């Protein structure tokens, strides 16, 4: 099976969570690494390992980012990485599949399922590499990962419990 290395310069993990139950706060993790085992277009045999550097998180507001790095949320000092390892894939037809796997945040591992769309392969005009792309989405409850800070409000709490996640990944065919 072909091995594809995630291109950290062209890959990002985005998240969105409700703030005060009235709006969404969005952020990005900009430092992603890992590998994908995949022979296009065989979607049922995708295997993925992704490592996300928690320190690369940005919401555009330094004070908020510092709070997210604290033990209240991601606890950067104790848990500098978020890790996903796939356990199985299910082809859905065309360029779509579901990839199930184990997601580890703050030392807690839970099963998640990613809804994945595949693009490519293409030949890069900037060096001739063969490149593929994936867009994947999932939703999780932050309390399942011990990200449990909360400030109650009249209706709900300041930070929502459900987090929407989107991964946009480019990966280059690894040299033999």
Per-residue pLDDT at 120? 92
- Per-residue pLDDT of the chain (176 residues), as tens digits, is 899 999 999 999 999 988 667 789 999 999 999 999 998 878 888 999 999 999 999 999 999 999 999 999 999 999 999 999 999 999 999 999 999 999 999 999 999 999 999 999 999 888 889 999 999 999 998 889 987 766 665 776 656 778 899 999 999 999 86
Per-residue pLDDT at 162? 82
Per-residue pLDDT at 107? 96
The span from the CA of 63 to the CA of 65, in Å, is 5
Q: Is the dihedral of CA 143, 81, 49, 10 positive or negative?
A: positive
Per-residue pLDDT at 18? 81
Per-residue pLDDT at 147? 77
**24: closest CA among 143, 159, 142, 139?**
159
Cβ–Cβ under 8 Å, residues 117 and 135: yes
Per-residue pLDDT at 157? 66
CA dihedral 27, 49, 79, 143 (to 10 degrees): 60
Copy the structure tokens of residue 157.
């709490």
Per-residue pLDDT at 40? 81
The span from the CA of 168 to the CA of 99, in Å, is 15
Please give the model's pTM, rounded to 2 decimal places: 0.92
Copy the structure tokens of residue 99.
């990839």
Q: Domains in the chain, ordered, with CATH?
A: 3-173 (2.40.128.110)
Copy the structure tokens of residue 67.
């709070």
């Amino acid at each position: 099976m072909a091995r594809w290395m995630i291109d950290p310069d062209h890959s990002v993990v985005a998240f969105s969570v409700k703030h005060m139950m009235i709006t969404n706060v969005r952020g990005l993790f900009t430092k992603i690494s890992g590998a994908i085992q995949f022979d296009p277009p065989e979607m049922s045999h995708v295997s993925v390992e992704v490592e996300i550097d928690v320190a690369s998180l940005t919401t555009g507001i330094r004070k908020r980012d510092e709070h997210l790095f604290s033990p209240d949320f991601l606890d950067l000092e104790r848990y500098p990485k978020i890790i996903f390892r796939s356990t199985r894939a299910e082809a859905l037809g065309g360029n779509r599949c579901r990839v199930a796997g184990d997601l580890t945040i703050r030392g807690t591992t839970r099963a998640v399922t990613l809804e994945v769309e595949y693009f490519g392969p293409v030949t890069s005009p900037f060096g001739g590499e063969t490149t593929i792309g994936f867009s994947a989405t999932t939703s999780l409850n932050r309390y399942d990962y011990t990200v449990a800070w909360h400030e109650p409000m009249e209706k709900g709490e300041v930070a929502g419990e459900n987090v929407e996640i989107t991964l946009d990944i480019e990966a280059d065919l690894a040299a033999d």
